[in-house]
Amino acid sequence: RLFGQEEQQASQSLARRGLASADSGAAGAAFSGLAGNKNERLAKVQTDIRPARPADLPGIQALVTKCGLYDALVSYDDYTPPVYVAVADGAVVGFLHGLLGKPVSVIVDCAVHPDYEHRGIVRKLATAFETTMLAQGLTTWVSVVANSRPRMQRVVEQWGAVPRAEARSYAKKVTA
């Protein structure tokens, strides 16, 4: 099943931590409704963090493209949980995709729509991921952030992550 089966429990956990309302509603819109007087409108917008749902996929796909994360070798049609989304006005405006494991978990992708940057959304997404990790007894994550994304590198360091080494990211599409 797309995105996982423990959505309600995770949503309630995030609500207890103040990251989302108890009923965040569905949000599959891909930026529709983000136009208008941006500064005035954004000042009033509530942003909730919650586990992604299948209906969020178009919004996540749009963010991947909008934020320059698209890789032609990757199919963005399905995600292994956990995936967290930031939802504002019924639209997915941010997401974080991670993989849980030992000895380390991995933050695979994280992005926020440019109109919603500098609002603490990335930090809230990371907190949701770390909450899930800690609940499963996991204590360390890694992330490879491209040199072409210096702002994201600074954000990851602000979370307390320490650069480990210069690295090159590789991708390969496996076919039968």
Residue-level pLDDT at 171: 77
Summarize pLDDT for 41-89 with one digit per residue, the tens. Answer: 555 678 999 999 999 999 999 999 998 888 888 888 889 999 999 999 9
pLDDT string in tens for the chain (176-residue length): 445 444 445 555 555 555 554 444 444 444 444 455 555 555 567 899 999 999 999 999 999 999 888 888 888 888 999 999 999 999 999 999 999 999 999 999 999 999 999 899 999 999 999 999 999 999 999 998 888 888 888 888 888 888 887 777 787 888 88
Residue-level pLDDT at 141: 93
Residue-level pLDDT at 36: 53
Residue-level pLDDT at 13: 56
Residue-level pLDDT at 64: 93
Residue-level pLDDT at 91: 95
DSSP state letters, the chain: -TT-S-HHHHHHHHHHTTSS-S------BSSTT--SSHHHHHHT--EEEEE--GGGHHHHHHHHHHTT---TT---S--PSPEEEEEETTEEEEEEEEE--SS-EEEEEEEE-GGGTTSSHHHHHHHHHHHHHHHTT---EE----TT-HHHHHHHHHTT----------------
Residue-level pLDDT at 10: 54
